[in-house]
Every structure is written in structure tokens, then in C-alpha cells.
Structure 1
Amino acid sequence: MTSPVSADLAAAAVAVLNKNWAGSHTLPATGLYPHQWSWDSGFIALGLRHIDADRAQQELESLLNGQWEDGRLPQIIYDVTRDDDYSPGASFWKSTDHPDAPIVPTTGLIQPPNHAWAAWEVHRINPDASTRNGFLNRVYPNLVAWHEYLGTRRDRGGRGLASVVHPWESGMDNSPLWDEALARVPDTPKHEIRRPDLQHADAAERPSAKEYGRFFWLAEQYRDHGCDDLLGEDSFVLEDPAFNALWARSELALADIARSIGKDPMPHEARAQLLTEALETLFDSELGLYTARDVNIGALVRKATISGIIPLILPQLRQAESVLGTLMGPGFLGDGPYMVPSYDLRAEDFEPAQYWRGPAWFNMTWLVIFGLRVQGAHEQEAQRLAANLQQLALEHGFPEYIDPVTGAPHGTRNFSWTAALSLDLLRAEQAPGTD
């Protein structure tokens, strides 16, 4: 029987997803994020699949409408009627002037590739609706092209891993992983920096003006050389473990999709294996987790962040035992925080309310729960995290992130992936055969 709390959570989560629905896709949040974001739509589809299979499919297909000819899926697809509500907007990127870009305005940057994984999960929960719409057959070629883009244009380190050329591409904008590389970047862009985000969130919770200066400078550099990944002129080039783990997980999903529609799954399985093996070059034995590699200087970044724990989502991960030890240790879950912090709790520059410099994010905790179950480890902890995630989401109006120690909410509210992923965990618990 569904408990009153579960019923309240389900109803409230669905209300958020309905409120943020823009007709063809879901906004991350109506005020702070007025466009369609790439990896947000992947996470959002995981919740939508439980309430409306057609809408979950449309969420992902609307994103594919913004795909470039070179295969990239852009970080943002813009609603030009809201161009003044987010910076940088479509007028900054001028993507429709680019010969490879679609007719809809987008950024030139990308975000982590969770889309094939989401597409497979959308199909898997309701194969009848998927088959009726020809969903997998339609999205498979686009998803293959997206992964080929990563493999051919973003292997900047030459080791099989994709590189990000801007902190925004990691999804973890001001993570401590980027500090050293950003310190080499000017904070004096030509473009006037507007901060409409500060109308919706406290300045203490957002990246600083100096960080934004560097973000804009890098965006200008990438835009001004035509978003060309093969020129090798980018000042910021890093291999991020979470980005590549999500790519590998999505390759496994592409193998499932291929098998389902009569295609050969072997190339996708092989690439997933190669990515998993290549991730080992990012393992730091002293930190006990994976970390980013700065391609421009050829060195690992010695910072213990949530990104280095996300590879647990991959089966046959060679260093899984070490990473599990770090996760369950004092830097992350050892002292029982409500959710997984985005940065080592013991770090001198840990900040519990400052975006990716300490707070716990709902999508990251969802991934860690998934990773614990892939590894067949610490199920009691996975259940505790899942219960806390759902409780805090409902209690605080689906916040963007929380203080991991106190549970205090931060960022915007009515955040779509918070609603979607809390709903996904709830429905998984209610599925037949679960406790």
C-alpha cells in the first residue's frame, strides 16, 4: 500500500514536472533556467517515464532537434523569447550563423552524455509505447552520431577519453577540479557580463564575479574560433571522470538499444569497455578515487570531488573497492551526511552552500545510489540515501541542492531533476518484487 508520504511526494513531484513543462521539453526551473538544458533533460526523462511515456520520449527527441551536423548535442537549446533571462544567451553564441548548427539557436558547448542511458530506460519501462512510436529506431542514429563526436573530436588527450573545454560542459561549473586550470585564464572578457541568475538565487550560492569573468572569456575563445575542437587552441582542456563514466554507461545503453532494434551491439560494448579501462588513467591512489586530468599540462588534479566517485555506475570498474572505501570514509559518507557532498568534507576550501564546492546535489546522490547497487555494495546506505533524498526533496520544495550536513536547501526551488529523480526512486521502491 502506498503511504501518505509517498503519495504526497508523487503528487508534488508530478506537479513540479507539469509546472516546468514548456510544451516540448521541461525547463530545469522556470526562473533561473528558462531554456532546455542537455543533461537535465536526460535526468528529467527518467522521472517522466513513470508518468507519461510519450512525454518522456518527446523530452529527449526535442533535445535531438538541436543536434549539430558534427554530432554534438549542445548544452542549451534557447527559447529566443527569453534571451534576456539567461546569460550568455542565443545572441552571444549566434549559432545559427554556423554552417554545422541547426536552425534552432543553441550554445556551441556540450554537457555530459547521459542521453542514450535515459533513452534506453524510457524504452525499458514501457516498451509498448516506445515500439508504437518507433522511438528507439528514430533516436539511435542521432545518439550514435553524438558518441562519435565525442570519440573523434573530443579525444584531446589521445587516450580515448573525452575532454571538456569549459567548466560548463562538465555540468559542475565551479568545482574545485577546475581551480588550477581557471587560474591560468583571464577574467576580462570582451562581452558585458549580465547576472540574471542573481535575481533567483543568493549571490553567496552562485559562482563569483571573477569565476564568471573566466567562464565568459573561455566561451568567447571557443565561439570565436568557430567552436572547432580540432584546432587545439582551447585554454581549458580537462578529462573529467564523471563525464566519461556517463559516456561509458550510455555506450552500454546503446548496446541494449542496438540489440533491441536488430543492430550490432558489439561496437558499443567494446567502446564501453575501452572507456572503463581508460578511466584508470584518472585514478589517484592517494585520494582513493578518480580525478580530472589537465590535458594542457599533462597532470592529474589532486582534488577529491563527487566526480571521482561517479565511475561506480560502471560494472567491472577496476578500482571499485578503493572508491567505495573513499565514499564510505570521513570525506564523504563516513559521518552520515544526509546526501553525498560534492567535495571532500575535510577540505579547507569546502563550502556547504556554494554550488559545486561542497553542497549535495540530487542527481549526484541518485548516481551514487545507482553505483552502489551496480557494485552490489552497502545496500543499507543506498536505502538511507534514497530515503533522505526523497524526504528532503518533498520537505524543501524540490531544491536545486542542499547542505549535506544540515540538509538546509539552497539554490532555486521546484527544480525539475530533483522532482524527476525523487519520483524515480519512489517508483522503483513501489515496483513489484521490491520491499
Structure 2
Amino acid sequence: MTSLADRPVWPAPTAPAGHPALRRDAARVLTGNWTGTSTVPSRTLYPHQWSWDSAFVAIGLRHLSARRAQRELETLLAAQWADGRVPHIVFNPAVPHGAYFPGPDFWRSSRAGRAAGAPSATETSGMVQPPVHALAAWLVHRADPAESRRRGFLTRLRPRLTAWHDYLLTRRDLGGGGLAAVVHPWEPGMDNSPCWDGALRRVEPAPPGTFRRADLRHGRAADRPTDLDYGRYVRLAADYRDAGYDDRAARHAFAVEDPCFNALLIAGELALAAIARDLGEDGTAHTARAERLTRRLVARLWDAEAGVFRARDLHDGTLVGERGVGGLVPLVVPHLPHAVAGRLRATLAGPCFRAPATRLVPSYDLTGPVFDAQRYWRGPAWFNTAWLIHRGLRTHGFHQDAARLGHGLLTEAGRSGFAEYVDPTTGAARGAREFSWTAALALDLLCAGSEEPLP
């Protein structure tokens, strides 16, 4: 398998007019959301450290300060559990407990997660998010290799990243097919996607009076999950907590193999191979694992007729009928069969995902029966998925498509005030503003340039 460093490079997308101001404003957002040890997604709705947010943030921060980007990942991984999992939230003890729900009083990680190896001195959630971290660590290292080596950045992070992937490929292989499973809609990161509706119908929601939603203080109800869905999220999380966060002992009412999650695990394995080689060690075990995962991803989740990867519901073994943006993210996998990559490109350009008002990619099929242009992950276009698909298009040589998507990302980031997401039918900004990963990934596209090798 070809090394990361040996891959060809291609020019970054043409930046829209005013890009020096865009770069300055993106840097301002990241500076404003920095806490001293990590970056919050937003100062209002998300006042703690989130797992895959921090990985994306580090990818952008490396252009401002490689040291600070390293610190971002180091802070997150310092809260890793002994079983290898990287929790999806690391709580800031200085933030009042009522500022976010579910907060540390709900998760009770240091007590409920003790048997699974939760840290005793840091409160976290017990769930995970997509494994973007190894790729982020590799990109951060490349931003300033001398500083990285001086601080032993890769040497210290490599065993943690390896343990994280090992956890996913052992304890989370719930379907026995060699792919990692997610056990809650929050874990694939696309919380409210219609792709989870079928599985969620099996879940009895927590009674409304047993929890208080903090998200509605900072966002419009029309943009956020419904109370019914939120009650189901709370039920799943409480059941997992009450089972001691034990993946084998818990009775998972929700268990799904997600294509985006596993595609990022493959990209992470290739990054770990590159990290091993940079440290003078053998990376072939990671490249071999990436090859096996790629074969399993295609065999278990590819739907050739639909031209998209689908999630697999492990309760009945069927592929989920809904088409979400996560089914396009596997473009980031370098060694997909050529026919699969070509079909994904065609799907992106077709009526299901070609948005009328933005070049970004809707989070759900525009022609789908429950498409909602405003509601969280049920239609709006997000910047992190656009960045991943842009990277995937470049990986497979679709350079004009990548340039159009990259230009769209930069244009919408600036026009929306670095919004959390945008309405794909009007381009209107939705969710939080001055959102960290939007600023970070716009900064990355502006700064990475043609020197950046691809996996």
C-alpha cells in the first residue's frame, strides 16, 4: 500500500475574494473559543470539549500554532479510558453543571465507568465519536515536524491512538463482521439523522419530566431534535450508563455499523501506519488492517444500486433504507474499488445531494420522505462532512469536483459567520455561529495548499 508521504499532491481550492479577511476571522473564532487547554465548539451551546470536534479543530489550529494543535489532542486523549475508548465529551469543571445536558451528573463516569477504566479525576461522557484523531495527529505533526519531535508528540500519542482503534475493533465489533458498531445516535456524530429513525422506534423514551434540555436555550426548537427523539437519546444513554458502560454486558437497543465511522477508522489506520514509519517502526500491521477494513466496508455496507454506502442495523442485519451524507464520506478511503468511487461521485452530482443554494452537501437525501432543510442533521449541510468529502474527491483524482466543493465551503463559511450548518435550499445560516470546526476547516483549506500529501 502506498505511503501517505508518497501520494501525489494537488492545488487547494481557489479561495473566494476577501480570503485574507476570512483567514483572520477564522483565527479570531478559534482564539475566542480557546479555553487555555482545548477549544469549545461554541461558547453558547457546547461549553465543553467534544471529541471529533477537537480533531477537526486541531487540523485547522496547526496553521496558527502547531504547539496549540498538539495541546488540543493531548488534552482530549488525557481523558481516555483504560479500555481504550476516547469519550465524546470531556467536561470542564469550571462550567456550571446546568449549562449543558446531559452533564457530568448524568454520566457519572468516574463511578459508573470505574470497571471500564474511566479516569477518576476527570468527568467525561461514556460514549465515543468518529475516530478522526489519528489522521488529525498525523496532519498536526506534519505542520511542524521539528517541534513535534522535540516534544515527543507522536511517541506519546501513538500508543493511545492504537489503544483507541483496538477498542473499536474488538469491544465494538458487535455484529461479528469486523466493523465497529455505534450504540447511540450521538456516536456517529450525525445525531438526528433519519438514518437512525428505524432503530430508534424500538426505544422507549425517557419521560419528559425526568430531564431538562439545555440546548433549547441557545437554539430554535425547529432546528433541534424533537422532544420525542431527545427522550430516546436520554433513555439509551441512561441504559448504557446503568450497565457500567460495558459493551458486552449492555443490552443495546440501538446498534448500527455506520459507513462514515468506519471509513474514518480506515483513514486513521493509514495515519497510524505513517506515524509508525515516521518513528522508525514497521507500519505494515496498520496498512493490513486498513485493507481488511476496506474490504469489509464494501462487502457489508455498499449498495451499488443506490450508489451510496448504507448503515447496517445489527438488530435485524438489514441495510438502512435512508440515504445520508455519511454514506458518501467513504470517499476518504484511498483504496476503494474504482467503480465504487465513481458511483459515489455520480451520487454527489445527482438529484439526491446536489443542493440548489450551496455547493455543500446536504446531510440527508434532498428527495427523501423526511427531508427537513432546517432540523439538525435531517437535511442541513455541514462543513465537516464537506471537508471530508473534499478530501475524498482529491484522493480519487476528482480534482474539479473537489475544487468546486472547497470553494463552496470557503464561501459559505464566510457568508454564514462560520455557522454550525446551513440550509441547503436557501443557504441561510443555522445552529450556532462562530462554530469552531467551521472556522478550523475553512482555515485548513485556505492554508494547506499544494504541499499537503493525501492518504
Normalising by the smaller structure, the TM-score range is over 0.9
Partner of residue 432 from structure 2, selected from 407, 412, 415: 412
Contact conserved, 2:174 with 2:180, CA < 8 A, in 1? Answer: yes
CA RMSD of aligned residues (A): 1.8
Letter in 1 for 2:439: A
Contact conserved, 2:134 with 2:271, CA < 8 A, in 1? Answer: yes
User: 1:327 is paired with a residue of what secondary structure?
Assistant: helix
* 1:85 equivalent in structure 2: 99
Distance in structure 2 (CA, Å) of the matches to 1:191 and 1:251: 44
Q: Cα–Cα, structure 1 residues 258 and 345, in superposed 2: closer, same or farther, change >3 Å?
A: same
Letter in 2 for 1:91: D
Are residue 386 (structure 1) and residue 406 (structure 2) matched? yes
* CA apart distance, 1:426: 0.6
Are residue 342 (structure 1) and residue 360 (structure 2) matched? no
* CA apart distance, 1:163: 0.3
**CA distances 1:2-49 after superposition (whole Å, capped 9, x unpaired):** 987111001100000000001100000011000000000000001000
* 1:263 equivalent in structure 2: 281
Contact conserved, 1:109 with 1:169, CA < 8 A, in 2? Answer: yes
Distance in structure 2 (CA, Å) of the matches to 1:408 and 1:184: 34
* 1:147 equivalent in structure 2: 165
Q: Cα–Cα, structure 1 residues 432 and 292, in superposed 2: closer, same or farther, change >3 Å?
A: closer
Are residue 326 (structure 1) and residue 344 (structure 2) matched? no
* 2:317 equivalent in structure 1: 298
Contact conserved, 1:80 with 1:90, CA < 8 A, in 2? Answer: no
* 2:200 equivalent in structure 1: 182
Contact conserved, 1:314 with 1:371, CA < 8 A, in 2? Answer: yes
Distance in structure 2 (CA, Å) of the matches to 1:398 and 1:50: 17
Distance in structure 1 (CA, Å) of the matches to 2:355 and 2:28: 35
Contact conserved, 2:200 with 2:254, CA < 8 A, in 1? Answer: yes
* 2:4 equivalent in structure 1: none
* 2:47 equivalent in structure 1: 34
Letter in 2 for 1:305: G
User: 1:163 is paired with a residue of what secondary structure?
Assistant: coil
Distance in structure 2 (CA, Å) of the matches to 1:226 and 1:420: 35
* 2:77 equivalent in structure 1: 64
* 2:89 equivalent in structure 1: 76
Letter in 2 for 1:419: A
Distance in structure 1 (CA, Å) of the matches to 2:271 and 2:143: 14
Give the TM-score taking structure 1 as reference length. Answer: 0.96
User: 1:113 is paired with a residue of what secondary structure?
Assistant: coil
User: Higher relative contact order by CA 8 Å / sep ≥ 6: 1 or 2?
Assistant: 2
* CA apart distance, 1:397: 1.1
* CA apart distance, 1:215: 0.1
Letter in 1 for 2:90: I
Are residue 400 (structure 1) and residue 417 (structure 2) matched? no
Give the TM-score taking structure 2 as reference length. Answer: 0.92
Contact conserved, 2:132 with 2:268, CA < 8 A, in 1? Answer: yes
* CA apart distance, 1:347: 1.1
Partner of residue 57 from structure 2, selected from 37, 44, 48: 44
Letter in 2 for 1:120: W
Q: Cα–Cα, structure 1 residues 232 and 224, in superposed 2: closer, same or farther, change >3 Å?
A: closer
Contact conserved, 2:422 with 2:430, CA < 8 A, in 1? Answer: yes
* 2:67 equivalent in structure 1: 54
* 2:7 equivalent in structure 1: none
* CA apart distance, 1:189: 4.8
Contact conserved, 1:327 with 1:334, CA < 8 A, in 2? Answer: no
Partner of residue 221 from structure 2, selected from 184, 198, 203: 203
Partner of residue 244 from structure 1, selected from 246, 250, 262: 262
User: 2:42 is paired with a residue of what secondary structure?
Assistant: coil
Distance in structure 2 (CA, Å) of the matches to 1:4 and 1:358: 28
Partner of residue 230 from structure 2, selected from 200, 212, 217: 212
Letter in 2 for 1:415: F
Distance in structure 2 (CA, Å) of the matches to 1:335 and 1:22: 38
Range 195-204 or range 211-220, more displaced: 195-204
Distance in structure 2 (CA, Å) of the matches to 1:431 and 1:249: 19
Q: Which runs of 5+ in 2 are unaligned?
A: 1-13
Distance in structure 1 (CA, Å) of the matches to 2:23 and 2:292: 39
Q: Which runs of 5+ in 1 are unaligned?
A: none
* 1:95 equivalent in structure 2: 109
* 1:14 equivalent in structure 2: 27
Contact conserved, 2:357 with 2:427, CA < 8 A, in 1? Answer: no
Distance in structure 1 (CA, Å) of the matches to 2:405 and 2:305: 26
Distance in structure 1 (CA, Å) of the matches to 2:412 and 2:208: 41
* CA apart distance, 1:381: 2.4
Partner of residue 367 from structure 1, selected from 388, 393, 413: 388
Distance in structure 1 (CA, Å) of the matches to 2:408 and 2:17: 16
Letter in 1 for 2:349: M
Distance in structure 1 (CA, Å) of the matches to 2:295 and 2:190: 23
User: 2:18 is paired with a residue of what secondary structure?
Assistant: helix
* CA apart distance, 1:257: 0.3
Distance in structure 1 (CA, Å) of the matches to 2:107 and 2:366: 37
* CA apart distance, 1:334: 7.5
Are residue 235 (structure 1) and residue 253 (structure 2) matched? yes
* CA apart distance, 1:81: 3.0
* CA apart distance, 1:345: 0.8
Distance in structure 1 (CA, Å) of the matches to 2:100 and 2:358: 33
**CA distances 1:58-96 after superposition (whole Å, capped 9, x unpaired):** 000000111000000000001133221110000001111
* CA apart distance, 1:392: 1.6
**CA distances 1:82-140 after superposition (whole Å, capped 9, x unpaired):** 22111000000111113211120001100000000000000112111111111000000
Distance in structure 1 (CA, Å) of the matches to 2:261 and 2:316: 20
Distance in structure 2 (CA, Å) of the matches to 1:429 and 1:128: 20
Are residue 356 (structure 1) and residue 377 (structure 2) matched? yes
* 1:315 equivalent in structure 2: 334
Q: Percent identity?
A: 51
Distance in structure 2 (CA, Å) of the matches to 1:2 and 1:168: 33
